[in-house]
């Protein structure tokens, strides 16, 4: 067989054979983590805190338990990651350091005034599940408070502190300011018993609360 025959034979081989044997490349860890967290969040909502296991999440992700444990060593670690992802649907923090829009506009972004209906339903479903089942696993509720509201308040205080340094607002204490701002606006999260007709109705309420905060903290 001469060189031209060998070349033609190689060209006729399937591309898989030419590449050689071996496993196809798997997802990079950041992508895999994001997919696992999303599946875990949906599973927690469906099966609850006690009903969700790492085995179930691994099965639904079509991965081995060893792969799951490599990224999330325990159910608590997985729950922490889910809470952190959920926190981003509640407050969009931290903010880009170069952001230079009017304060009211940035606060509106932080509190996600433009949230779409699907994301709103998903975050409400997670909050509802947690509220209904918090008594079942108090140890996870400690995690929820630490990784959820506590971290959000700290991040918001850091942002307010930065705005104070830039001379854009005046507060005696950024932590207290963060607490007040969250009290003003987080009460607007959710519908039903709060009487919002729709997201636009709630948005109008939150815009008025933001305007009140901005006026009250404006430098003299």
Distance from the Cα of residue 168 to its chain's centroid: 28
In a domain, 2, yes or no: no
How distant, in Å, are the alpha carbons of 5, 69, 71, 139, 207 from that of 75? 58, 9, 11, 12, 38
Statement: residue 24 has pLDDT above 80: no
Confirm if 104 and 206 have CB atoms less than 8 A apart: no
In a domain, 18, yes or no: no
189-213 pLDDT, tens digit each: 654 445 678 888 889 999 999 999 9
Confirm if 210 and 104 have CB atoms less than 8 A apart: yes
90-126 pLDDT, tens digit each: 999 999 988 999 999 999 999 999 998 898 899 889 9
Spatial CB neighbours of 99, under 8 Å, sequence gap ≥ 6 = 106
Phi, psi of 105 (to 5 degrees): -70, -45
State the Cα–Cα distance between residues 116 and 199, nearest whole angstrom: 9
The model carries a pTM of 0.78
Domain containing 113 equals 29-217
Question: In b/e form, how buried is each residue of 52-82, taking b as 16+ CB within 10 angstroms?
Answer: bebeebbeebebeeeebeeebeebeebbbbb
Q: Is the peptide bond before 94 cis (omega within 30 degrees of 0)?
A: yes
In a domain, 10, yes or no: no
In a domain, 38, yes or no: yes
In a domain, 107, yes or no: yes
In a domain, 7, yes or no: no
Domain count, the chain: 1
* Mean pLDDT of all residues in 5-31: 50
In a domain, 16, yes or no: no
Spatial CB neighbours of 131, under 8 Å, sequence gap ≥ 6 = none
In a domain, 20, yes or no: no
pLDDT at 189: 64
Confirm if 147 and 83 have CB atoms less than 8 A apart: yes
CATH of the domain at 200: 1.10.357.10
């Amino acid at each position: 067989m001469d060189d031209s025959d060998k070349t033609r034979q190689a060209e006729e081989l399937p591309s898989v054979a030419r590449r050689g044997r071996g496993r196809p490349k798997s997802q990079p860890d950041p992508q895999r983590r994001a997919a696992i967290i999303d599946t875990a969040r949906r599973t927690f909502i469906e099966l609850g805190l006690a009903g969700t296991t790492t085995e179930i999440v691994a099965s639904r992700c079509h991965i081995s338990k060893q792969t799951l444990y490599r990224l999330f060593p325990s159910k608590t670690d997985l729950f922490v990651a889910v809470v952190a992802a959920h926190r981003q649907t509640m407050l969009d923090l931290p903010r880009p350091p170069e952001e230079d829009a009017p304060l009211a506009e940035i606060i509106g972004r932080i509190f996600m005034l433009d949230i779409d209906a699907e994301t709103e339903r998903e975050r409400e479903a997670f909050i509802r599940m947690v509220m209904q089942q918090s008594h079942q696993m108090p140890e996870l509720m400690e995690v929820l408070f630490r990784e959820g509201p506590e971290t959000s308040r700290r991040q918001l205080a850091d942002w307010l502190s930065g705005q104070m340094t830039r001379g854009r607002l005046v507060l005696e204490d950024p932590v207290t300011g963060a607490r007040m701002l969250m009290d003003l606006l987080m009460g607007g999260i959710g519908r039903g018993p709060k009487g919002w007709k729709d997201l636009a109705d709630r948005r109008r309420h939150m815009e008025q609360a933001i305007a009140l905060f901005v006026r009250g903290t404006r430098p003299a």
